[in-house]
Amino acid sequence: MRKYSILLILFTLLCLVCFPAEKYVWKNVTIGGGGYVTGIIACPTEKNLFYAKTDVGGAYRWNEEQQCWIPLTDWVSKGEMGYLGVESIAIDPQNPNRVYMSAGLEYYPATKPAIFYSEDYGGTFNKTVVPFMVHGNGYGRGVGERLIVDPNNSNVLFCGTRKDGLWKSSDMARTWTKVSSFPISETDNGNGICAIAIDPSSSSKGSTSKTIFVGVSQMGTSNLFVSVDAGETWNPVEGQDSTFAPQRMVITPNGYLIITYANGAGPHSNKVEPLSTGALFKYNIQDKSWLDITPSRATKAPLSGVSFQQNNPDILMVSSTNTWWAQDWAPSKTVKGDEIYRSTDGGITWTSLFGKKKTKLDVGEFEWGNPSLSPDPVSLHWATCITLDPFNSNRAFVNSGNGIFMCDNLNNSITNWKFQVRGLEETVPLGIVSPAGGASLLSIIGDYDGFRHNDLAKSPAQGRHNPRIGTNRAIDFAENDPRIVVRAGSSAFISKDNAKTWESLIPPFPEAKDGNLAISPDGKTIVWCPENSPIYTTSNYRNWAQSDGAKPSQRVISDRVNSSRFYFFDNKTLYFSNNRGTTFAKGSTNPSLTSVRKIRSSPAIEGDIWIPSADNGLFRTTWMNNLPVFTKIDKVAKCEAVGFGKAKSGKKFPAVYIWGVVDGVEGIFRSDDEGKNWVRLNDDTHEFGGTGDANEIIGDPRVYGRVYMSTAGRGIVYGDLVGGKDSKIVIDSEDYSGIKKAK
Q: What is the pLDDT of residues 81-138, one digit of tens each?
A: 999 999 999 999 999 999 999 999 999 988 999 999 999 999 999 999 999 999 999 9
Q: Is 126 left (phi over 0), alpha (psi -120 to 50) or beta?
A: beta
Per-residue pLDDT tens for 499-548?
Answer: 999 999 988 888 888 999 999 999 999 999 998 788 888 878 888 988 99
CB within 8 Å of 109: residues ≥ 6 apart? none
Q: Counting beta carbons within 10 angstroms of the beta carbon of residue 632, is it exposed (0 to 12), middle (13 to 18) or buried (19 or more)?
A: middle
The answer to whether the bond into 151 is cis (omega within 30° of 0) is no
**pLDDT tens, position by position, 212-250:** 999 999 999 999 999 999 999 999 999 999 999 999 999
| 19 burial type by CB count under 10 A (0-12 exposed, 13-18 middle, 19+ buried) | exposed
User: pLDDT of 50-86, one tens digit each?
Assistant: 999 999 999 999 999 999 999 999 999 999 999 999 9
Task: Please provide the average confidence, as pLDDT, over all residues in the chain.
Answer: 92
Q: Is 601 left (phi over 0), alpha (psi -120 to 50) or beta?
A: beta
What CATH number has the domain spanning 440-589? 2.130.10.10
Query: Does 6 have pLDDT greater than 50?
Result: no
In whole angstroms, what is the distance from residue 581 CA to residue 627 CA?
17
Residues labelled catalytic: 55, 447
Tens digits of residue pLDDT in 332-361: 667 788 999 999 999 999 999 886 667 887
Q: What is the pLDDT of residue 378?
A: 75
Strand partners, 585: 576
Each residue's pLDDT tens digit, 265-301: 999 877 666 789 999 999 999 999 999 999 986 667 9
- Domain spans, the chain: 1-30+595-743, 139-419, 440-589
* 1-30+595-743 shares its CATH topology with 139-419: yes
Fold annotation for 1-30+595-743: Methylamine Dehydrogenase; Chain H (2.130.10)
Pick the residue with more confidence: 298 or 742? Answer: 298
| Cα 31 from chain centre | 12
In CATH, what number does 139-419 get?
2.130.10.10
Residue 613 CB: number of other CB atoms within 10 A? 23
Compute the distance between CA of residue 485 and CA of residue 436 in angstroms, rounded to an integer.
Answer: 13
Better pLDDT: 362 or 338 = 338
Instruction: Tell how far CA 406 is from the center of its chain.
Output: 20
What confidence score (pLDDT) does residue 362 get?
A: 78
pLDDT digits (tens, 9 = 90+) for 161-208: 999 999 999 999 999 999 999 999 999 999 999 999 999 999 999 999
Would the CA dihedral through 133, 139, 141, 147 be positive or negative?
A: negative
pLDDT reading at 325 higher than 90: no
